[in-house]
Amino acid sequence: MSGLFRLLPAAAMAALLTLWGAGEAPGWRTVPLAESRAVGEEPRSVASLDEIAREAALSAVEEVGEGKVAPEEIWFTILDARDPRDPRIGHYQGDALVYPASVVKMCYMVAAYDQVATGQLRMTPDLLSDIRVMMDVSSNTATSRIFDLLCNTGFGPELEGEALESFEWKKYTVHRYMQALGLEELFAVNKTYAAGVPLYGREFVFLGERVADNYEYSNKMSTNATSRLLYMIWRRALVSPEASEEMLEHMLRGNGRGGSRFLGLLPESATLYSKPGGTPTCRHDAGIIELADGGAIIVSAFSFVRTDDTYPPVIQAATEKALEVLLDQPGELDLATADPDRTLHPEDDEEDPEEDDEEDEDDVE
């Protein structure tokens, strides 16, 4: 604790801690932004994971069937964090920006904890309740309240000139924080609008021109950046270890908390932390599959939907196929990334007369 706080009278210190609500003084972030960003940059891109992601995605598209989803309508990223010495990431179209539906709520949860840590917000019972409802049952109403708190914005009539510029600057508050974390591809600049709530005035003007199913300035996320954000949370590297732990608790699935399309795919004794999302035109899920040995596989899967009454199970199929291949491979650095032709001991080069000359067939989906 700084010398300033040591000099404060006991009553003043108690008042500060009460205002904080979490036991630390305002302005205290135990994991600096630069350290959080460094953790997010840890996973390295690996061509073999790119191939697993690509094969899983295209195989899932083929399985779902022609006319329901096309190869360009699925975005898929795998982050293999089973070996803490060598986290790796691979993707199929994972650098493309896609409308994220409710997956964007992860950004608002993280930003809320950061603003509490820096003294811009207080973790009141109402705010904590809204975060829980936003993440658990995906309430759009709660999300809109949180967004307004984070950005100091609100609904209202159209604005012009400097007033409009100020409103637009505020709307970018969470995006600027994501940029500071090195996650420029998390473009989180809008509320998620509850059904029946009219979109009008300054909110509608901000969205810009109509583009396909959304707007020029709709929320956008890549599955690569989404997976890196999840990795940072899982590593307890955002805001503070305690805050990251709470974020994971908000995303815990199972035990009556459903919604995720990954729940039926878990290996034995695995734990799932996830944020699904969807609209009539898309179905997404992003989650941490924490394995029994403490490692994790992080999957972000976005897909387009063409039918109104049903959605193609393409993200489940792709995830299942990728997990089958990954979990059949060792997760350790020396085994998973070693050159198969390189030997560690000279005697290993000697031919074994008992060895069969036939090559093993690759076990690939």
What rounded mean pLDDT belongs to the chain? 84
Question: Is the Cα dihedral 247, 96, 94, 193 positive or negative?
Answer: positive
The residues pairing with 103 across neighbouring beta strands, listed in sequence order, are none
Q: What percent of the chain has pLDDT over 90?
A: 66
Indicate the residue type of 223: T
pLDDT digits (tens, 9 = 90+) for 54-98: 999 999 999 988 788 999 999 999 999 999 999 999 999 999 999
Q: Quick one: pLDDT band at residue 194, thresholds 50, 70, 90?
A: confident
Q: What percent of the chain has pLDDT over 70?
A: 82
Q: Provide the phi-psi class of 181: left if phi over 0, else alpha when psi is between -120 and 50, else beta.
A: alpha
In sequence order, which residues have a C-beta less than 8 Å from that of residue 233 and are 6 or more positions away? 106, 110, 244, 247, 248, 251, 273, 288
Q: What is the pTM of this model?
A: 0.83
Superfamily name with CATH number, domain 36-327: DD-peptidase/beta-lactamase superfamily (3.40.710.10)
pLDDT digits (tens, 9 = 90+) for 99-133: 999 999 999 999 999 999 999 999 999 999 999 99
Per-residue confidence (pLDDT) for residue 2, from 0 to 100? 35
Which of the residue ranges 25-34, 115-124, 144-153 would you say has the lowest mean pLDDT? 25-34
